[in-house]
Structure 1
Amino acid sequence: MGKSLSVAPGPRNRRSVMTRLIFLICVLVIAAAGPAQTQAPPATGTTLDLVRAATDGDFDRLVQLVRAGADPNVVGADWRSPLVLAAAQGRLDMVRALVRAGARVDWQDADKATPLIMATIGNHEAVVEYLIRAGADPMLTDRWGRRALDYALMRGKNDAVARMLRRAEINRPLQKNK
C-alpha cells in the first residue's frame, strides 16, 4: 500500500522538537527580561510641559517644572528626552539642571542618538565636556553605527570636540555588563 505515517522519534522529528523548544526558551527569556530602555515613563501634563520647555529653550519654565516634580526622563516625539533636546541646542544651563534632576545621560532616542551625540553634531563644546564629566558613554552608537567621535571627526581630526571625545574614549575604564 502507501507509506504509513510514523510519529517515531527520528532525526527529523527530534530536530523539529528541539527547534520549537529553543524558540520557546528564547521567548521565555525575553519575557522574563522585561521591557528594555524603550519603555518611556508615563507622561503627565507636567512632564509633557517639560519636553515643551526643553524644545522651546525655556530655562525658567524647565527649572520650575523640575522643581514641581516633572520626570526629567519623559520623552516626546521620536523618543527625544528633554536632555537630548537641550544638548542638541547647546543649552548648558538646561543640561546641568536636567542632569542634576536625574536625567539619564545615555538615553537614546528613536534614532539611538544620545545627548552626547546630539551635542557633538551641534559642536557644543561646553555641553560635550559636561556630559562626559557627568558619565556619558562616548562609545554608544546611533542607528547608523556612529559614535559621537565619528560625527566630530567629520569636521576634522583637530576639532576641539573630537580631541575631547578621543581623550574620553582613551580614559574610559573598561566596563563589563554595564
Structure 2
Amino acid sequence: MAPGTTSGPASGALLSCLGFPGWGGLHLILPSRGDPPALARRLHLCLAEPGAADDDPWEPSIPAGLLLPTLLRRHRDLEPLDPDHWPWARGAAMAWPPSWGHRYLLICRWGASHPLRLSAWRRHRESGDWIRLWEPVPLIGLQERVLRDQETTRATPSPSTIKAMAPTAQ
C-alpha cells in the first residue's frame, strides 16, 4: 500500500482526549479497528454500565469525567502516544503513520448539557491530508451520526468504481 493511504476498516486511529478531570491532554493510539463504528462501539461499552436502564443506549450511565479512565480500563489495547512521536509537531501530512485512517478529538466540557463531544477526521487516500468527517457532536448523537455516515459511504461509489462502470469509448 502506498504511503499516505488509508488501510481500510482495520486501520488504526488516533484518539485525543481533552478536558477530563485529573488528566492532561492524552493521545491514544487505537492500533486496529479505528473506524467510526468501531470507536462508537468502544465508547458505548464504556458509557453503559452493566444492568443500567437502556432507555437511550447513548445516554451515559456513568459521569462524563469517568469515561476516560473507564475507556483505558476496559480497552487495554489502547496505547498512549509518546510526545516525542507527535506527528503534528513535524508539520507534514506524511509524518502521520500510514496505518492511521482516522483521527478523533474527544472533549469533556464540564457544565455543558452534553459534556462529552467527539470530532472526527478521515485520511485522504492520495495526499495523506485529513478531511473532517464531522464537527464536535455530543456522544448522545454519535450513533445517529455514525449510522448516517456509514449509509452514505455505502451508497456513494468510489471514483475508481465509477470509472470502471463508465462506458468505454469505442
* TM-score for both structures, normalised by structure 2: 0.22
